[in-house]
Amino acid sequence: MRTEEHDLASLSGRAWEFVRAFLREPLRVGAIWPSSEQLSQAVARACTFSPADTIVELGPGTGNFTQLLLERLDQRGRLVALELSATNVKVLRRRFPQAEFTFDSAEHLAKYVPARSARCVVSGLAWGNMMPALQDRIMSAITSSLATGGQFVAFAYSHARYYPTTLRFRKLMFQEFARVETTPILWRNLPPAYVYRCWRAASRSDDVS
């Protein structure tokens, strides 16, 4: 019983940390409440990787996706995460000392992950809140980091599906990836969301190497 009460208190604390981060920086955080278990599982399952692979997480928030990804890596692979909330970085480093959390923008991913080395890049970023130039810079960093056949996984909120910035982000994914899939709407998230699953095609330089 004490364990259950502790877990509930811990969950509640992380949720309110998320809310406070949103109130401080709404354009960076993009959501007022952490991702639900349903969305977290959908995102984690969307990634195909082995325990020894390198995984990237952009905008991990309070770590809902992080925990599930680390469980699958089983302490053999590498998880690199970039986060723009200094408060969240401190929380994440305490919760997951086995992962690498850095206070930096996703556009600087190349500083932390070699080119073509990531098996999967998971995004918790608020793409719909970004200006086009920033969308382009971050997407370039993502595609450069991905191994041949590597995946990019992101989620979006259903109510923002037709925002101009969201439509631009969707178009960008279809331009940059060989294959793009979208899940049905996950209604048990607040707000309802869906998941993108994208695959990087081989480039000419990949073929030569």
In percent, the amount of the chain with pLDDT more than 90 equals: 75
pTM, 2 dp: 0.83
Mean pLDDT of the chain: 86
CB 69 within 8 A of CB 43: no
Report the amino acid identity of residue 83. E
Which of the four pLDDT bands, split at 50, 70 and 90, describes residue 25? low
Helix H segments across the chain? 2-24, 26-29, 37-46, 64-73, 86-95, 132-145, 164-176, 204-208
Question: Which residues, at least 6 apart from 207, have a Cβ–Cβ distance to it below 8 Å?
Answer: none
SS3 assignment, position 197? strand
Reported as a single tens digit per residue, the pLDDT across 77-123 is: 999 999 999 999 999 999 999 999 999 999 999 999 999 999 999 99
The CA–CA distances, whole Å, from 71 to 22, 50, 100, 190 equal 27, 11, 15, 24
The superfamily in CATH containing domain 2-208 is: Vaccinia Virus protein VP39 (3.40.50.150)
| pLDDT tens digit sequence for 139-168 | 999 999 999 999 999 999 999 999 999 999
Distance of CA 5 to CAs 2, 9, 44, Å?
5, 6, 26
Neighbours of 70 (CB within 10 A): 20
Please give the Cα distance from 89 to 204 (Å, whole number): 37
For the record, the structure tokens of 146 come out as 């991905």
In a 3-state reduction of DSSP, which class is residue 54?
A: strand
Whether the per-residue pLDDT at 205 is higher than 90: the answer is no
What's at 172, amino acid-wise?
L
Residue ranges per structural domain of the chain: 2-208
| Alpha-carbon gap, residue 59 to 208, rounded angstroms | 34
